[in-house]
Every structure is written in C-alpha cells, then in structure tokens.
Structure 1
Amino acid sequence: MSSFHDVSFPLSLAFGASGGPVRQTEIITLASGHEQRNTAQANSRRKYDAGVGIKNLGDMQILIAFFEARRGQLYSFRFRDPVDFTADNNIGIGDGQTTEFQLSKAYEDQAGSWQRMITKPVLGSLAMRLNAQSTTDFSIDYTTGLVTFDTAPANGVVISASFEFDVPVRFDIAHLNTSLEAFGAGGAVNIPLIEVLAHA
C-alpha cells in the first residue's frame, strides 16, 4: 500500500468513535414474495465516525494538523477499532515448505465462518504458537501482517497467532468542516473514516 502512512489516528480523538463493518447485499424481491440475495463483495468494509472525540479547540487543531499531514483523503493511516481489535486463532497449517503466513482473524459460529485478512498488527503484540507451543523463531512485517518463520513448520503443524491490530483507513471527506463555538471550543459535524482493503 504505497499511499499508506504508518501513523495512528490520535488516540485522544478516537475515544468515543463509533462504527463497524458494512456488508453490501443486493436483495431482489420476486413477485411471489420470495427473496434472492447476492453480494458482489467477498469482504466487509468498515466505516467509522470519529467526530465525537473533538472536545475543544486544541482537539480541533490536532485534527486539522493530522488531516493536512495525510493530504486529506490521499494517504491512509492506522485506526484502532473501539471494539474489535484483538485476535487469537489459527492462521494456517504447516506443509514442511511454506515459511510465510498471513495474519488473519476468524469470525465463526455453528452455521458459518469468515476469515478476515489482518495487515496492520500492533507493534510488540504478536505471539506465535506451533501446535500450541510458543515460538520466537519468526519475523513479522507490521505493515502487511505477513509472518515469516526461520524454518518452515512441519507438515500438519497447527500455526496460531495472538495479537492486537489496527484498521487501515482514510478520511472519507475532502472538506474538513469545522466551526468555532462559544468560549473557544471546537466543533465538527462528523469525521467519517473508511477502511482501505488490501489486495488479497
């Protein structure tokens, strides 16, 4: 992701942010009343509103500086989902040859499952296990979420990962609409952010 700045949206402004996954589903209601449902997108895409965290003029100045440094919508950046920011699950099975494995998070219940690619793990948060045994014989690219083992895990070995992660997002507005309220307090209608999906 060449248009990515490896910096985080200011945590002081992110407090109280709302949002979550969006899934686009095309729903066609037939004359019989039955439905046909389809989706053109395999993955969900997250949207957030970070405007709640703007409490005063100082916060507004921090936001403007961050917005300008990202050139508005041009460069994406890290954002911590207020609810969904940890994972602890299997990410692959060894075959004796493969050394690289992509971090992911599993969402599943009795009826279905979905595997989400994670590309922005938090620095220092990753713990890897091979057949439930901790290992440190690996390296991690914190900008792609790609784990590389020093030696390929043996055939059938279950590879597990525990980590925290951020979401790569960009501003979903070209115009930062701000106002100066009474007693020098800053105000913003909304600060929409949208996830930037990585190429699979």
Structure 2
Amino acid sequence: MSNMVFPTLPGLAWNVARSPQWATRIQKAVSGKEFRSAWMSAPLYTFRLQYEVLREATAYQELQQLVAFYNNVRGSFDSFLYRDPNDNSVTAHSFGTGNGVQTAFQLVRSYGGNLEAVGQLNGAPSIYINGVLQATGYTISATGLVTFSVAPINAAALTWTGNYYYRCRFLQDTMELNEFMNSLWEAKKVEFIGSLTPNRI
C-alpha cells in the first residue's frame, strides 16, 4: 500500500467524472418477488480524468510526472492517495457525541447528509470538544480513529477540522498517451477507483 500522492498537473480538462458505485446481489423468487443483499456498507468511487495537454519539455516534465507515477504504482497493482479538488476537507465537522464511557471515535465527513468514514488524512487534523481545541489527550490512528485518554463527558460535542485523501488504484494496467504536437501530449482517459473509508482499496 503506497502513500504516494497523485500529481496535480495543469493540463487537466473539464469535465472530471466521479461516480459512486455500490454492489447489490439481487435474486428473484418464482413468484417474481425480489430479494436484495447489499455487499458494501460504503460506496466506492470511480474517477475519470482527461488531460488536454501534458508538456514533455525539460522545464515542465508534466508527461514524465504522470508516467512515472503510473509506473511507480505498477498500473493497477498498488494503491495511492488522491486529493479530490472539490471534496478534500471539513471544518468544525461532527464526528460523535460523548457519553462519559466511550473513548474511541471514527472521523467522518458528510456529503449531502450521507456519512462516510475518513481513513486517509492529509496532515494533522484539529480536534475539538465543545468547541475547545484539544492540544493533547488523544491519539489518531492511520485509519482516522480518534482515541481519547479520558472519555469525553456526556453530551460533549466532538468536532474536527482537517484535510483528507481518497485511497485509490488505477483501473487498467495500460495508459494511452498521444503526442499531438512536438513534445505536447494528451491522455484522454485516466481512470481509477477509490474510497474514503479505510481498508477498502
């Protein structure tokens, strides 16, 4: 599992596609009634990027950055971290309520009211109890689990501010790159699948 971060390159075109994906098993009885089983508790996301221009010249080396990154993770073999331009941070976001007993709480983020666990942090987040910044008295695991040394009191509001990544892997073991002018390249389809939830990819 790699912690390499997908490069930010200026030639990225619109539109960037991000599609939530679920897995449902559907069986039909003789009567025609359906029985459905959900195989996932949180979605995966398929990302599709398109680069209109990747400069190869020594002063830029955008093509080289993308190819080197792809080769370093060996196509779809290894995972990496991706910072979604529009979904990468929270401010004063709730991640639980104290009850005087529980000490461990998973960091989460809400997207339109849907909660997902956040497992890949970008930097150290700020943790608050009842709006007061906590400098000490807790640890944060590599999967976003906050463990307090003393259980927060009953009804204490737990919030966090910070940045996060998606953990992803490429969908294919081949990346098509086209040189449309001297030292100017394009990548019409760069696809990968990812998740906010830890231990998925």
8 A Cα contact 2:127 2:159, kept in partner: yes
Q: 1:83 & 1:14 partners in 2: Cα distance? A: 17
- Counterpart check, 1:139 vs 2:139: yes
Partner of 2:97: 93
Of Structure 1 and Structure 2, the greater helix share is in 1
8 A Cα contact 2:93 2:161, kept in partner: yes
Amino-acid identity (%) = 23
8 A Cα contact 2:127 2:133, kept in partner: yes
AA at the equivalent of 2:108:
S
Partner of 2:62: 59
AA at the equivalent of 1:79:
Y
8 A Cα contact 2:24 2:36, kept in partner: yes
- Counterpart check, 1:9 vs 2:2: no
AA at the equivalent of 1:177:
E
How well do the aligned residues superpose, as a CA RMSD in angstroms?
Answer: 3.1
AA at the equivalent of 2:105:
F
Of Structure 1 and Structure 2, the greater strand share is in 2
Partner of 2:72: 69
Where does 1:14-93 land on structure 2 (aligned, <5 Å)? Answer: 15-16=12-13, 17-23=16-22, 40-52=39-51, 54-57=53-56, 58-87=61-90, 88-93=92-97
Where does 1:46-195 land on structure 2 (aligned, <5 Å)? Answer: 46-52=45-51, 54-57=53-56, 58-87=61-90, 88-108=92-112, 114-124=114-124, 126-137=125-136, 138-141=138-141, 143-195=142-194
8 A Cα contact 1:13 1:53, kept in partner: no
Q: Which runs of 5+ in 1 are unaligned?
A: 29-34
Q: 1:131 & 1:53 partners in 2: Cα distance? A: 47
- TM-score, scaled to structure 1: 0.78
Q: 1:165 & 1:14 partners in 2: Cα distance? A: 23
Change (3 A) 1:95 1:117: same
8 A Cα contact 1:14 1:50, kept in partner: no
Partner of 2:31: none
Q: How many correspondences in the alignment?
A: 191
AA at the equivalent of 2:72:
A
